[in-house]
Structure 1
Amino acid sequence: MEHKQNETFSSDFLWGAATSSFQVEGAQNEGGKGLSVIDVMKKNPKITDFSVAIDHYHRYKEDVKLMADLGLKVYRFSIAWTRIFPKGNGEVNEEGVAFYNDLINELVSYNIEPLITIYHFDYPQDLVEQYGGWMSRKSIEDYRAYAEFLFKTFGDRVKYWLTINEQDHVVRIPSRLGLTGDDRYEQMRLGYQANHNMCVATALTIKTFHELGMKGKIGPAVSYSMVHPASAHPDDHLASKDAMLIKHNYLLDLHCRGEYSKPFQTYLADRNYMPQIEDGDLDLMKQYPPTMIGVNYYFSETVTSFPATEEFPIGYQKEALLAEAEAGVFQVVKNDRLQATDWGWEIDPVGLRLTLRELNERYQLPIIITENGMGAYDELDEGDMVHDDYRIAYLNEHIKQVQLALNDGVDVFGYCAWTFIDVVSGRNGMDKRYGFVYVDRENFDLKEMRRIKKKSYYWYQSMIESNGKRLT
């Protein structure tokens, strides 16, 4: 639907940018930090690990000053669980507490709202070794207790909290659950049990949030991609709806409604993935839903139907993370109407508007975009500049769609680009860059890690200053 007039961004709209602890901090073995599953997972010899990252742990004051100069209203970052509780539970590490206190105080001194992700992939390895991590119900109380400590320690300065980042990805990536071995069926079965336990832990944490009288909003950060049917054939339309359910909507149905929908129950039962559910679990989720939703949006997907056969029986999947095919459900196909990034992610700004409308219609909660960005092979020229016009174009078109979603009546109160500064990509190291600030290091050459403002930095600075009026 086109509009004669576009809604303007409110004066208190939160313009921001995001990072995560393990991708920026470095200091992997400093400051009393314990090991996470990220620290011990198998390394890719072709890219850097996260041990140094971009050294934000030692350079946070310089980085926050760059955020302030950019004009950020909000900065989304995660707390490394094992900097606070090195073993995941037990004794508190005061050095870690001091680091985050200092970081938060620095942000507040520049009037930048801290938006904290409580858990962003880097689960404590010790909890995996103690009792199996998220696969055990013991994990529920350890997560809740960790979150409660954060609320009590930092809650006087923090109003916005994200419980778990991209829980759907954690379920589908065995290393992020601390799982080893090659039995994909068993990994998926355990993953759905972990998913259920995370939902219970989230509800208990939201209950604690309310009981402590915390001010502000709390909710998950979900990865969400619109799934388009490849044709007008009804089978493709059904495939798109089923893909939306098993990739995205099942998770928010649990968080927001305390519900395993009938189609999703059937999906789990057909594959023997149904988790153990204790009495009261679903009622707890219904009683303590999120008060906001964080959305990570990068691309859309297009699917066609994929009937199960003897060669590809129900349960067969191609790719684990962002499943490209699942027999009996869908198969991802190329959308010839869309361009793609260097990594093949199809660029679909309208998909963001559709995502926001879908979430609004299903759950009617305030929304903040917690990640949206374009990874690319950025090059620093001889004039110390990165001319990332492709990133500017990507962000400009997506922010336009946020404005249109506001016009559609969606309650979007903030936008965080991914990322504020170049980070170590989870699967592509320093090759894949997202930031407004270039970090002068390579995979295996740290150089001096100078911070250099890209062309997109100045563009976003102007966007924030005009409160979105300089969209082109």
Structure 2
Amino acid sequence: MEQVLFLITIVSSFVFSGRCSNVYNYSRNDFPEGFVFGSAISAYQWEGAADEDGRTPSVWDTKFHSTSGPEGYHKYKEDVKLINDMGLDAFRLSISWSRLIPGGRGPVNPKGLEFYKSFIAELKRHGIEPHVTLFHDDLPQILQDEYGGWLDRRSIDDFTAFADVCFREFGESVKFWSTINEPNIIALIDYGSLVNCTPPFGVANCSTESSSSAPYIALHNILLAHASASRLYKTKYKDKQNGSIGITFYAFWMIPLTSSEEDKIAAQRNKDVLLGWLLHPLFFGDYADAMKRTVGKLLPSFSQEESNLVKDSSDFVGVIHYQTFYISHSETRDLIIPTGNSTLLELDVFPRGLEEVLEYIKQNYGNPPVYVLENGTPSHHDSSSLNDVGRVEYLGAYIGAVLNAVRNGSDTRGYFQWSFMDLFEVIDANYTYGLYYVNFSDPQRKRTPKTSAFWYSAFLNGTQQELKNLSLSPSPGFASQ
């Protein structure tokens, strides 16, 4: 009864506010057969149990010292039940490298291996397809200390060995692998001082050439690590396991602030760099000429062997999209990426931006298979977020944008909302993205469905019209845990 009253309250807010009226003009049946809908988490943000069962610190432990989160390591069976009750086709998760291989290389941790096998088996038992990201930003701290992480080419061999363990141990159950999450963001934020001199994260003078070159070196090595793991999978495992392997990237969309030629050039320059930096090598085996002109001698070069390795190393592209930026030419700012002068204004909600990203990939890179692996919007992390009408509007609009892209010929095959439940958010822990509210102060980490959870479930199960008319009751088991 408590759930029914809650449901009536939240749906009444749709009706009487006049909001959300535009999210019911399509249904799941409008998407192609086989199109998958999912949600997502990452290991560090969901698992907790940071020092349990042999896990060693990652760079995120060192940076954030998280003591809050949903503690999924101990509650994964309950969470899989919620995932199943919602009606998701698929679920995106990541493997904690330092839980599986605590030394960064060498012996496998039996407890870590057992956990991931059990988690993946639980998903499969409920008919949920696991989409596994091997590396979601949480490099083992021991490798960062030893050689500087992605700045050193030793990371290529260590990552490939880690991937080999995952393919061998989990590959019979996992058919969709993403190697590395958001390499362009890892490079921009985690290496050098470029976080202070690169849009959209701010502008200032980089102090030294070495710090300026670090992000380019890091991303270059990440591309080679991805390609090395991809070659291993395709030569050793793919035929037996019948899976596919790709990589994700953070896809800003950029639009000119005005119709001036200068603003149009500035917007295109941003696309060439922030999108093409990763995509061009994956499809053409080298950085684009525009990228080379922009970055100059700071940009590493591929050997012919490396070029051949990287080209066509992804069976699909994983798109992560949250924001669109207006770009304006400026005479007062000298930016490293891109060179030339630009300023940026952020658009938090602009569904057309995701549609344009998918169209851009289609037009410029031969229309490869694409999965939108993250898309969502934050709300303040407290109980007031339960009635998250704004998130419903956001998801309805962005899923509609994906449908538009598919109808226009994009080979987009799936959409994954971020995140299934409130996680420890590394940018600002006061804001979370979850469909389920998690009370981090509660030792039991109670999960409570938000308005968006009911809406997404109704959409997935083809009952959103009933929800709009106040006649949908929660599915059996679709409850707080």
TM-score for both structures, normalised by structure 1: 0.85
Per the alignment, in what secondary structure is the counterpart of residue 83 of structure 1? Answer: helix
- In structure 1, the residue corresponding to 2:99 is in which secondary structure? helix
Once structures 1 and 2 are overlaid, which stretch shifts more, 7-16 or 397-406? 7-16
Look up the match of 1:40.
Answer: 62
Q: Which amino acid aligns with 2:321?
A: Y
1:257 aligns with 2:284: yes
Pairing 1:332–2:334 present = no
28-37 vs 254-263, which moves further = 254-263
Alignment match, 1:46: none
- Structure 2 equivalent of residue 360 of structure 1: 362
Matched, 1:375 2:375: no
Q: Does the alignment pair 1:281 with 2:306?
A: yes
Rounded Cα–Cα distance in structure 1 between residues aligned with 2:68 and 2:208: 32
Amino acid at match of 2:308: D
Q: Is the 8 A contact 2:295 2:339 kept in 1?
A: no
Whole-angstrom distance in 1 between the partners of 2:340 and 2:394:
34
Q: Deviations over 1:299-330 (max 9, x none)?
A: 211011123x5xx4453x8xxxxxxxx66242
Q: Aligned residue for 1:221?
A: 248
Where in structure 2 are the equivalents of 1:106-117 lying within 5 Å? 106-117=122-133
How much has 1:132 moved relative to structure 2?
Answer: 2.2
Q: Return the match for 1:159 from 166, 170, 175.
A: 175
- Equivalent residue, structure 2, for 1:205: 229
CA distance in 2, matches of 1:282, 1:212: 21
Q: Secondary structure at the match of 1:227?
A: strand
Give 1:293 shift.
Answer: 0.7
RCO higher in structure (CA 8 A, sep ≥6): 2
State the number of aligned residues: 428
Seen in structure 2, the aligned counterparts of structure 1 residues 470 and 261 have a Cα distance that, compared at 3 Å, is farther
1:138-217 map, 5 Å: 138-174=154-190, 183=207, 185-214=209-238, 215-217=242-244
- Report which of the two has the higher share of helix: 2
| Alignment equivalent of 2:41, drawn from 3, 19, 39 | 19
Aligned equivalent of 2:450, options 442, 454, 464 = 454
Equivalent in the alignment of 1:320: none
d(CA) in 2 for partners of 1:265, 1:394: 37
What amino acid is the match of 1:388?
D
Q: Following TM superposition, by how much is the alpha carbon of 1:471 offset from its aligned partner in structure 2, in angstroms?
A: 11
Counterpart in 1 of 2:413?
Answer: 413
SS for the counterpart of 2:248 is strand
Amino acid at match of 2:61: D
Paired with 1:467 and 1:296, the residues of 2 have a C-alpha distance of 28
Q: Secondary structure at the match of 2:49?
A: coil
Seen in structure 2, the aligned counterparts of structure 1 residues 314 and 78 have a Cα distance that, compared at 3 Å, is closer
Q: Which residue of 2 aligns with 1:99?
A: 115
Quote the offset at 1:50 in angstroms.
2.3
Q: Secondary structure of the residue that 1:197 maps to in structure 2?
A: helix
- CA-to-partner distance for each residue in 1:147-170, whole Å, 9 max, x for gaps? 111111101000001111110010
TM-score normalised by L of structure 2: 0.84
Instruction: Report if aligned partners of 2:276, 2:291 keep a CA contact under 8 Å in 1.
Output: no
**Compared with structure 1, are the counterparts of its residues 328 and 134 closer, same or farther at alpha carbon in structure 2 (3 Å cutoff)?**
same
Could you tell me how far apart the structure 1 residues matched to 2:185 and 2:208 are? 15
What residue number does 2:30 align with?
Answer: 8
Aligned positions of 1:113-132 closer than 5 A: 113-132=129-148
Distance 1:448 1:207 in 2: 43
Report % sequence identity: 30
Distance in 1 (alpha carbons) for counterparts of 2:252 and 2:322: 7
1:439 aligns with 2:438: yes
How far has the Cα of 1:275 moved from its partner?
2.2
| Greater CA drift, 148-157 or 188-197 | 188-197
Match of 1:466 in 2: 462
Shift of 1:213: 3.7
List runs of 5+ in structure 1 lacking aligned partners: 44-48, 318-325, 335-344
Following superposition, the deviation at residue 248 of structure 1 comes to 1.7
Q: Output the amino acid matched with 1:380.
A: S
Do the aligned partners of 1:192 and 1:274 also contact (CA within 8 Å) in 2?
yes
Give the whole-Å Cα distance in 2 for the aligned partners of 1:167 and 1:266: 21
> What is the match of residue 238 of structure 1?
265
Q: CA 1:276–1:354 in 2, change beyond 3 Å: closer, same or farther?
A: closer
Matched, 1:387 2:387: yes
Is the CA contact 1:314–1:328 (under 8 Å) kept in the aligned structure 2? Answer: yes
| Aligned AA (2:225) | A
For the residue of structure 2 that corresponds to 1:331, the secondary structure is strand
Q: Distance in 1 between matches of 2:151 and 2:356?
A: 34
Distance in 2, Cα, partners of 1:448 & 1:396: 32
Q: CA deviation at 1:212?
A: 1.8
For residue 256 of structure 1, report the CA deviation from its aligned partner. 2.2
Distance 1:365 1:313, change over 3 A: closer
Matched with 2:6 is none
SS in 2 for 1:221: strand
In the aligned structure 2, how far is the partner of 1:104 from the partner of 1:184? 45
Conservation of the 8 A alpha-carbon contact between 1:9 and 1:467: no
> Where does structure 2 lack aligned partners over 5 or more consecutive residues?
1-25, 196-205, 469-481
Shift of 1:188: 3.3
Say whether 1:424 aligns with 2:424: yes
Which residue number in structure 1 is paired with residue 19 of structure 2? none
